[in-house]
Chain A
Amino acid sequence: KAGVTQTPRYLIKTRGQQVTLSCSPISGHRSVSWYQQTPGQGLQFLFEYFSETQRNKGNFPGRFSGRQFSNSRSEMNVSTLELGDSALYLCASSPRGIEVFATQYFGPGTRLLVL
């Protein structure tokens, strides 16, 4: 089975711009989660989608949003980029439905640099 894929792998943007990141989960997985990884804050949960519905949201401003499509692919969008948004954005998919202990499998990430 192919793993989680994320596009693009690298991105450079300037302050004030917006960006959209894409994630394709492992085939058959319906849960997709997004995490932000920075040297200072570590790994922080952004949001989780299941069957096109957001089930959980982390403590991030409204500039961070996401969605999931009927084929389970997911996108996240960051509007009005700030320097502090520079990070590795990781997507994870899981075969879980209601069970919270199902393993999450991570993609390689999208590295975003905001100048």
Chain B
Amino acid sequence: AQSVAQPEDQVNVAEGNPLTVKCTYSVSGNPYLFWYVQYPNRGLQFLLKYITGDNLVKGSYGFEAEFNKSQTSFHLKKPSALVSDSALYFCAVSTGAGSYQLTFGKGTKLSVIP
């Protein structure tokens, strides 16, 4: 069975500072990893994904994520946080072998303080 852990329920960061939202995963095959963001009363917006290749993935709105196979992690990062980045962030994993579902972490609430 596949699973995703987001160890922090909430992350607070000052505007302009770098931010990191942590994610670890557990799968039996090759992982396909995704980050989504959810603003209040909205659906999920896709940020980026890792399929294979370069361990550093760049996505929308200046976000990037680093895939680390040995640590089974896929942390989301941004060099300089904006107040508008405040939202709920979800990490998700999918595997091959005919699995067409995403397994999500519990989510991390990011608050960027002006």
Residues of A near any B CB (own CB < 8 A): 4, 31, 33, 35, 42-45, 48, 50, 55-56, 58, 90, 92, 96, 100-101, 103-109
Contact = CB atoms under 8 A, between A and B. Distances in A.
Interface of B: 32, 34, 36, 41-46, 49, 51, 90, 92, 94-96, 98-107
9 contacts: A31-B100, A33-B100, A33-B101, A43-B107, A45-B103, A48-B100, A56-B99, A101-B32, A106-B43
A98 B104 CA distance: 21
Contact of A55 (B36, B100, B102): B100
A-side interface mostly: strand
A51 B55 CA distance: 34
A108 B34 contact: no
Given A45-B103, A106-B44, A100 B49 contact: no
Contacts of A55: 98, 100
B106 A42 contact: yes
A43 B100 contact: no
